[in-house]
Amino acid sequence: MKYRTHTCGELRNKEVGKKVILSGWVDSVRTHGKIGFISLRDRYGITQIFLGKEFADQLVDLRRESVIRVEGEVKKKPEANKKLKTGEIEVSAKKFEVLSLSEPLPLELEDVE
């Protein structure tokens, strides 16, 4: 099994339309009805992953710091996030796999100084 074709910090507009595989840690999970967004992190950066309604059941138990593998297509975001180097694109997931589900964290990482 191939774990990645690219790192989370290298995708840009020139890769729009390409099929990619990314692996990394879940930095955040946001759900909006039956769709969701994951900020996927590796040592090179962060990439937003878009998950359609076919993945809604898998998002329920997904926690920060879980390790996942995603196969999908690079798409241009309707609105860019200028705070991220990868902020103009997202990966629309076609396959999504949890490699290691994290235990609930005893405290929120943002609270640690």
pLDDT digits (tens, 9 = 90+) for 28-71: 999 998 899 999 999 999 999 999 999 988 888 899 999 999 99
Is residue 93 in a domain? yes
pLDDT of residue 104: 77
pLDDT of residue 1: 87
Phi and psi for 17 in degrees, rounded to 5?
95, -15
Q: How far apart are CA 70 and CA 48, in angstroms?
A: 11
Q: How far apart are CA 9 and CA 98, in angstroms?
A: 20
Confidence of residue 108 (pLDDT cuts 50, 70, 90): low
Is residue 18 in a domain? yes
The percentage of residues in the chain with a pLDDT greater than 70, rounded to a whole number, is 93
The count of structural domains within the chain is: 1
Distance between alpha carbon 14 and the CA centroid of its chain, in Å? 19
Is residue 8 in a domain? no
Is residue 2 in a domain? no
- What is the mean pLDDT of the segment spanning 82-96? 95
Is residue 74 in a domain? yes
Is residue 112 in a domain? no
pLDDT of residue 77: 94
Is residue 42 in a domain? yes
pLDDT of residue 106: 72
CATH number at residue 63: 2.40.50.140
Residue ranges making up the domain that contains 51:
13-102
Q: How far apart are CA 64 and CA 101, in angstroms?
A: 9
pLDDT of residue 112: 46
Higher pLDDT, 38 or 105: 38
Has this prediction a pTM greater than 0.75?
Answer: yes
